[in-house]
Structures are given as C-alpha cells and as structure tokens.
Amino acid sequence: MNITVIGTGYVGLVVGACLAETGNPVVCADLDQDKIEGLKRNVLPIYEPGLDDYVARNQSQQRLTFTTDVAAAIARADVVFIAVGTPPDEDGSADLRHVIAVAEQIGKHMRRELVIVTKSTVPVGTAAKVAAAVSQHARLPFHMCSNPEFLKEGAAIDDFMKPDRVVIGVDSDHARSVMAELYAPFVRTGKPIIFMDIPSAEMTKYAANAMLATRISFMNEIANLCERVGADVDNVRKGIGSDGRIGPAFLFPGPGYGGSCFPKDVKALVRTASECGVPLRVLESVEEANEAQKHRLFGKLRELDSQVARARRDFQNPIARLDARRKLPRQCSESFVLGGLSGVPGGDEALHADALLAPGRRDGRIGCVHRGPPFNKQNLSAWRCGNLSSRKPWPMIDMRA
C-alpha cells in the first residue's frame, strides 16, 4: 500500500517513520524546503527519542522518502494522511486553512481511488469540509477517514508502535478494511482498533485532551488548597490515584498545562460548544484555573528572591551572619534557571512556556532554560540560559562552575 503523509511536522514525521517501519512505502511531503532537505540527510527538525534511528533506517532501506513535491506524492498514493498544523484562530477555533489547502491539492492530483485520512486534530465536521474541497476537483472515488493521533511528545514512537487503542472514524467498508490492514501490525498484542462514525472520532480527540487538561487543573487547585490548609498534596495524590476509578496519571500539580496541543484543543472545543449553544462550563473553568496557575510559580520565585535579599542584608550584619549563611538558599545569584519547561517530559517543545515566563520577563531578573535536549544535570551547561529582558541571543551559562 503506497502511503503519503502531507505535513512533516511532529505528527507527520512520526506517522511516516512508523508506517515505513512496518514495511509500507511511505512518502512524507512538506512545503518547508529546509525541513525536507535536512530530513533527506537524516537531520530531524525536532528532538524525539528514537525517531532519528527510525528515519535513518527506513530512509536507507528506501521505504521512507521526503519531498516538497506534494502533487507527485499525492499522485502515487493509495492512502493519504493529512498531518498539517491546525493552529488556533483569533477566536480560539481551529484554523483549518492548511487542511483545506491540502484537500484541494488532493482533489487535483489524485490518480487512483484514495483513502483520505485526517490525522490533524480537527473539529467535528472537518472531514465533511475536506470531502467537499476534494470533490471540487476529483474525478475518481475517494473515502474519508478520521484517525486522531494520541501520541505524547517524548514517547511518540512507543505510543504509535504500541498504542493503547487506535480510534478510526470511517464512512465506508473500503476505508475500514484498508485502515484495519494498515494498523494490524500495531495492535498484535490485542489492543483495540475502535471503529466508529467520523464525527465521533473527531470529537474523541478533543474530549481526550480536555479530560487530561481537566485533571491537571483540578489537581493544581487541590494543591493550592493543600498548601493553605497544611496538607501534603503528594500524599493526597497517592491517596486518590490508587483508587481504580480515578487512576494515577495526570494528577501531578505543577505550573499549569502548556505545549502545542492542550491550550489550543481546549480553546477549540470550548469554541465549538459555544457556537452550538452548548456551553462547556467545566472546561471554561479549567482554562481559567490554568491561566491563574501559570503565575503561581513566579510568585514562589519572587518569595525566594526576597528571602535571598533579606539573607543578604543580614549577611552585612556580623551578628546575623552565621544564621544568614544557613538560610541563604543555594540559588543565591542574580538569576534563576528553570528546567522542565518543555510541554512534556522528554520532549523539547517549549511552546507557550512564553506565557509561563511573562511575569518573570517584566522585571528581567528571572532566567529561563530555552529549547534544547532533555534537561539533566550532565547537559545543563549546554542549555541556553539568560536574562529575559534581553532580546539578544542568550549567553551560555555553565551552572556547574
């Protein structure tokens, strides 16, 4: 089966490499010439554990190729995956411009009966819009399919190769049997392929991300309350996470959710709901709680900062000096370094960390760790750190010195 994946970003690259790994001839197409030129030389635009090996191996064995010739990639395909970005529009809804542009290209250049799969995260009704855009130009039959992607950045290969489940929305037996054949190698351990209608598949992706975001905001608010009443949220987390009805995942309090998916997907779902006159009040509160949480970290850093200032003052006083030496936090320097700002552990995407950093930026005293490989003590010196008030490239700081 000839597979073409259009959009070679995070999702497209993982999908293309993993489908090639199971023996399919795959072409990954993208408009970004630099990205494609790099990929041809096995230079990946993202950091994702194990992905470089998959790309190099499948490229050398000629199952995986990269191109900017989107038309030619469509012409050879039996199955086309649309994996372009769906960024948030000004009103929070998903911007489908790239998806529809690709649909028109597919209609113009398809040369055989085709299964068209939306991999991008798209609102309910998008497959119908894609079908309409393809139909404007198509002379041959095609079948629509919605196959949302649940991979986690940082564990994307494992998530794709060994999924908990595969969700596939179809509107024909042909699409169903093609997709069942394609995914058979990934569900050999008995994990289910859940076939459903297309609108339900489109909704499933948003509902999944909305549920996870809800758990994060819920737990952050419980943590804030614990702090106030003298309870330890870590104990509370263990106490509730061991309940089989609740489970332990996504119950870790932190500075709020970010990354390229949760914020935009929650917004898009809230937007869809309000357009339909069915308000999602719980999710609206989830967003509100998340916004507030982003600022708490800096509140804490400021508190630490004033402790440092107080300890420094005490340091000038010989009598208080001994005590001050004990109190002075080790981070006693002009800037703080924050690690773990990527959207997920093991990933390198610091998108929307900007919002998280905004309060620090105002006084320009709180440094941050920029994009880079995963954060650990060994490679800390290689991270780009600096003063956020500067727009110049940040200097490298060796924290071990």
Ligand X SMILES: NC(=O)c1ccc[n+]([C@@H]2O[C@H](COP(=O)([O-])OP(=O)(O)OC[C@H]3O[C@@H](n4cnc5c(N)ncnc54)[C@H](O)[C@@H]3O)[C@@H](O)[C@H]2O)c1
Compute the distance between CA of residue 366 and CA of residue 387 in angstroms, rounded to an integer. Answer: 7
Max intra-chain CA distance, the chain: 89
In this structure, what token pair is assigned to residue 223? 């943590």
Of the pair 6, 80, the CB lying nearest ligand X is at: 6
Query: Would you say 16 or 386 has its CB closer to ligand X?
Result: 16
Strand partners, 169: 146, 196
The pair of three-digit structure tokens given for residue 278, joined into one six-digit string: 């069915």
Q: At its nearest, how many Å lie between ligand X and the CB of residue 401?
A: 35
CB of 83 to ligand X, least distance (A): 5
Active site (annotated) includes residue 28: no
**Smallest distance, Å, CB 324 to ligand X?**
46
Residue nearer to ligand X on the CB measure, 27 or 179 = 27
Q: In angstroms, give the least distance from the CB of 39 to ligand X.
A: 10
Q: Closest distance between ligand X and the C-beta of residue 1, in Å?
A: 21
The residue written with tokens 């609740």 in the block is 246
CB nearer to ligand X: give 261 or 297. 261
DSSP string, 132-201: HHHHTT--S-EEEEE------TTSHHHHHHS-S-EEEEESSHHHHHHHHHHHGGGGTTSPPEEEE-HHHH
Q: Rounded distance, CA 327 to CA 58, Å? A: 56
Q: Which residue(s) pair with 192 in the sheet?
A: none
Where are the extended beta strands (E) located within 55-111?
Answer: 64-67, 79-82
Contact 272, 124 (CB under 8 A): yes
What does the alpha-carbon distance between residue 249 and residue 388 come to, in Å, rounded to a whole number? 33
Of the pair 110, 151, the CB lying nearest ligand X is at 151
Q: Which residues are at the interface with ligand X (CB under 6 A)?
A: 6-12, 29-32, 35, 70, 83-86, 98, 101-102, 120-121, 149, 151, 153, 260-261
User: Which single residue is written with the structure tokens 């290689």?
Assistant: 382
**CB under 8 A, 24+ apart: contacts of 378-383:** 380/337, 380/339, 383/337, 383/339
| Nearest CB to ligand X, comparing residues 40 and 312 | 40
Smaller CB separation from ligand X, 34 or 53: 34
- Residue 35 CB, nearest distance to ligand X (Å)? 6
Measured distance CA(247)–CA(311) in Å, rounded: 43
**Nearest-CA neighbor of 284 among 269, 296, 304?**
269
Task: Name the minimum Å distance from CB 118 to ligand X.
Answer: 9
Q: Catalytic one among 18, 28, 226, 261?
A: 261
Residue nearest to ligand X (CB): 9
Alpha-carbon distances of 329 from 27, 309, 324, 368, rounded to whole Å? 54, 10, 10, 18
156 vs 11: CA distance, rounded Å: 9
Q: Tell me the catalytic residues.
A: 261
